[in-house]
Amino acid sequence: MKNIYIIGVGLIGGSLALDIKKHDASIKVFGIDHNDAHLEEALQLKVIDAKATYEDLKKADLVILSIPVDAAVKEISEVLNSVSDDTLVMDVGSTKAEICKAIDQHPKRRNFLATHPIAGTEFSGPKAAIQGLYKNKTNIICEVEKTAFKLQERALQIFSDIGMRIRYMNPEAHDKHIAYVSHLSHISAFMLGKTVIDKEKNERDIFDMAGSGFASTVRLAKSSPEMWTPIFKQNKANVLETLDEYISNLSKFRALMHEDDFEAIYSEMKDTNHIKEILNGIQ
């Protein structure tokens, strides 16, 4: 494998490029992005080796589609139309059902692998790309049986080389579970940030008292709205389900506060402490 094309040279695509090139310096990475400033920045940072267009995709061994999920659904058919029969095309989006549905009957469906590397930071753009982002992280692969076996092997070798764990899941299950462990976290961070910002308008010193706990909890509120709004839209049903459960738990906590039932509050928090063991087990 010599030629890799990254469509969307931001944090996720750019970090993949850096890790793949670190493992095999002979690979040449080409960047495609609607934002030419991003391409120039990616070139300067050596995230990519050269710019490219869709017309060049016929020369690709691997194409990584790393753009917002609404754009990915629109672009995936054109990408598959542009590649050779021996090209592997992967997307790395945070929702899987819509993109799998979009190309289910495409003549080159066998060239496509739906993946979701669960890694990232709150930053975006080429400057956010970092080496080692994916080491010891989990990569969800959906509908692997629909991808040509030799192309599956190519993808699995890449993931192994950069240190990822693999888990297989159907797209609907992926979208449901990821709504709880990722999408809800981002909504919580955005709304916590909004709550504090609204309060800060009247109490100017509130951020002077913000410690590391607040900073870590609200960190995800720095994430890109351009990326996350389409995710919430595509996964609307699952996100609404998680929000209903979350709001129910918040309402219960609020009611216990009103009732001065701090024994019950202690019990709720004590039970939830079990999450330490769960998270330690997957690190």
Question: Each residue of 197-236: pLDDT tens digit?
Answer: 887 766 666 666 666 777 788 888 889 999 999 999 999 9
DSSP β-ladder status, 62-65 and 88-91: parallel
Are 41 and 151 within one domain?
yes
In DSSP terms, 5 is beta-bridged to: 30, 63
Same-domain status, 166 and 181: no
Query: Which residues touch 214 (CB under 8 Å, ≥6 apart)?
Result: 196
Residues 195 and 222 in one domain: yes
Q: How far apart are CA 207 and CA 200, in angstroms?
A: 8
CATH number at residue 162: 3.40.50.720
Helix (H, G, I), strand (E, B) or coil at 138: strand
Asked if residue 49 and residue 90 are part of one domain, the reply reads: yes
Quick: pLDDT tens for 123-134. 889 999 999 999
Residue 258, number of CB atoms within 10 A of its CB: 8
Provide the phi-psi class of 64: left if phi over 0, else alpha when psi is between -120 and 50, else beta.
beta
Tens of pLDDT, residue by residue over 25-44, are: 899 999 999 999 999 999 99
Instruction: Give how many domains the chain has, as a whole number.
Output: 2
Mean pLDDT in residue range 248-267: 96
The domain boundary, picked from 129, 149, 170, lies at 170
Distance CA 59, CA 118 (A): 29
What does the block give as tokens for 123? 């930053």
- My answer on whether 164 and 181 are in the same domain is no
Query: Do 57 and 149 belong together in one domain?
Result: yes
Q: How far from the centroid of its chain's Cα atoms is residue 73's Cα?
A: 15
Do residues 110 and 201 share a domain? no
Verify that 133 and 51 share a domain, yes or no: yes
Alpha-helix runs per DSSP H in the chain: 11-23, 36-44, 69-82, 97-102, 149-161, 171-178, 184-200, 212-218, 225-234, 236-258, 262-272, 275-282
Q: What is the pTM of this model?
A: 0.88
pLDDT digits (tens, 9 = 90+) for 235-249: 999 999 999 999 999
* 16 in the same domain as 82: yes
Q: Indicate the residue among 139, 170, 201 that finishes a domain.
A: 170
Residue 227 burial (CB count, 10 A): 22
Q: Is the pLDDT of residue 100 over 90?
A: yes
What is d(CA 69, CA 65) in angstroms, rounded to the nearest whole number? 10
Q: What share of the chain is helix, strand, coil (3-state, %, to 5)?
A: 60, 15, 30
Task: Give residue 209's pLDDT.
Answer: 65
Residues 214 and 165 in one domain: no
What average pLDDT does the structure give for the chain? 93
Domain that holds residue 250: 174-282
Strand order in the sheet with 165-169: 50-51, 28-32, 3-7, 62-65, 88-91, 112-117, 138-142, 165-169
Q: How far apart are CA 197 and CA 204, in angstroms?
A: 10
Looking at the fold, whether 53 and 147 belong to one and the same domain comes out as: yes
Residues 250, 122 share a domain:
no
Domain end marker among 115, 136, 170? 170
CATH, residue 277: 1.10.3660.10
pLDDT band at 165 (very low <50, low <70, confident <90, very high): very high
Instruction: Classify residue 41 as exposed, middle or buried by CB count within 10 Å of its CB (0-12, 13-18, 19+).
Output: buried
Q: Could you give the CA distance from residue 138 to residue 163 in angstroms, rounded to a whole number? A: 9
Burial class of residue 101 (count of CB atoms within 10 Å of its CB; 0-12, 13-18, 19+): exposed
